[in-house]
Amino acid sequence: MKIVSKGLCALISLMLTSSVIASSLPTYPFIHATGEATLSMRPDLGEIDFELTELSADPEMTFSMLEKASAEVITFLASQGLSSDDIEAADIKRFVSDVEYADATDAPKKFRLLRNFHIVIRDLQKWNMIIAGLLAKPFVGNFSVNFGRSDMDKIQNDLVIMATTNAKDNAKRLAQGLSVRLGIVGAVSQSPLKSISTLLGLDGAIKREEQAVQHKPTTKDFYVPTWLKYKQNVDVVFRIKP
């Protein structure tokens, strides 16, 4: 596990006297600090969405074929250790696609049959074998792949603690540099404190890749990423002790 924690920015402001600005800013001297925390974790689960689909002039026969193919897919997934809770299969849909017949109004009517699957793979050592097995099955296509972690609650908790600690450290350094004493927290947010940033002329000054944890980093192919990056920012307002 890789851990990176750093501050994006911090600034100090004494009480402003303008009646217009004072109505939006805290009515006490304060330090506004931003903290950032990043965790790089190896994925421990993968999710796949895919379809069993076919265009057919004989929907009844194709329906039976898709049912058989679906049963084979489920049997294969079970043989790879996936539990029934990690295999979701929607009902088979039958419809006429306007897009597929946009340029063929005189063609015999055909029906699109479609069944959506969603599976969760908790043992990534079996990832390549499962992918290869699915690709070899008839009617299977339209894959979408996501990777994640099974301990997202802990990751979220750790990131918030790290980011708030980072913000406090930044505020302490500013207070020490300006020979003031850091007081209690006046406000804290996991998203930017926009009113303060606007009034102090900071809008657009800070570029943030993410404001919160990304739950399901996505890849465009079947490659298992080495690391998943999770990031959390916090904004904190501290009172300045008199």
Whether 3 is in a domain gets the answer no
Q: Is the pTM of this model over 0.85?
A: no
What type of residue is 222? F
pLDDT band at residue 227 using 50, 70 and 90 as cut-offs: very high
Whether 2 is in a domain gets the answer no
Query: Given 112, 131, 148, which residue is the final one in a domain?
Result: 148
Provide mean pLDDT across the span 22-32.
Answer: 73
- pLDDT one-digit tens code per residue, 152-190: 999 999 999 999 999 999 999 999 998 999 999 888 888
Query: Given 125, 148, 171, which residue is the final one in a domain?
Result: 148
Domain of 164 in residue numbering reads as: 8-42+151-241
Residue, of 141 and 96, whose pLDDT is higher? 141
Tell me which residue has tokens 């994006």: 8
Strands of the chain, DSSP E: 2-13, 30-41, 45-56, 87-89, 93-95, 111-121, 140-148, 181-189, 218-219, 228-241
- pLDDT one-digit tens code per residue, 109-162: 788 899 999 999 999 999 999 999 999 999 999 999 999 999 999 999 999 999
Number of structural domains the chain divides into: 2
Query: Given 103, 121, 148, which residue is the final one in a domain?
Result: 148
- Do residues 89 and 117 make contact, with C-beta atoms less than 8 angstroms apart? yes
Q: What is residue 50's predicted lDDT score, i.e. its pLDDT? A: 96
Mean pLDDT taken over the chain: 80
